[in-house]
Amino acid sequence: MQGRARILLATRVRMLRARYGWSQERLAEVSGLHRNYIGHIERAELNIGLDNLERLACAFDVSVAEMLLDGGMEQGDRR
Amino acid sequence: MQGRARILLATRVRMLRARYGWSQERLAEVSGLHRNYIGHIERAELNIGLDNLERLACAFDVSVAEMLLDGGMEQGDRR
């Protein structure tokens, strides 16, 4: 199961970025992270730290937990 | 809001550890992380990486998202 969280996050970032219609460059601007860093995250190549995970969550206006939800599921869908 | 995620996680780790009745040493054994590292996490002193967050989630048998949920709330409680 090790490494699964990176893939969850990569999927989630791509999904949220698509929802906003943002390029990687735009997400980089909004989050204050480097554009290359965003690319690494979306390819699950990088062991992101919690502080930067929080920057991404802030950029997308979601909770940090929501950055790591499984697949297309929203917290509101959970029972 | 920067730093809030560390406090969320610290609270969550202490709560889950209490639920299992585990000492920091026991959590260290189960997760494969160092006991001092667990202490730093519970004092929100450390920018944990996603891979180690996943180790903690595995140890507690919860999802990585659940490691970062707010306060005493469970995913099942959310609407």
CB B17 within 8 A of CB B24: yes
**What integer is the mean pLDDT of B2-9?**
89
| pLDDT tens-digit map of B11-24 | 999 999 999 999 99
Identify the closest residue of chain A to B68 by CA–CA distance: A65
Tell me whether A57 touches chain B (CB under 8 Å): yes
CATH 1.10.10.10 fits B4-69, yes or no: no
Taking 90 as the threshold, does the pLDDT of residue B33 lie above it?
A: yes
CB A41 within 8 A of CB A10: yes
- Topology classification of domain A4-72: 434 Repressor (Amino-terminal Domain) (1.10.260)
- Here the tokens at position B54 are 């996943």
Identify the closest residue of chain A to B41 by CA–CA distance: A50
Q: How far is B22 from chain A (nearest CA, A)?
A: 22
What is the rounded distance in angstroms from the CA atom of residue B53 to the CA atom of residue A6? 11
Whole-model pTM?
Answer: 0.87
Tell me whether B71 touches chain A (CB under 8 Å): no
Domain ranges of chain A: 4-72
What is the rounded distance in angstroms from the CA atom of residue A67 to the CA atom of residue A1? 18
- DSSP code string of B9-63: HHHHHHHHHHHHT--HHHHHHHHT--HHHHHHHHTT-S--BHHHHHHHHHHHTS-
Nearest Cα to Cα of residue B43 among B3, B6, B2, B5: B6
| pLDDT tens-digit map of A54-69 | 999 999 999 999 999 9
- Here the tokens at position B7 are 């406090």
| pLDDT tens-digit map of B48-59 | 999 999 999 999
| pLDDT tens-digit map of A18-53 | 999 999 999 999 999 999 999 999 999 999 999 999
What is the rounded distance in angstroms from the CA atom of residue B39 to the CA atom of residue B41? 5
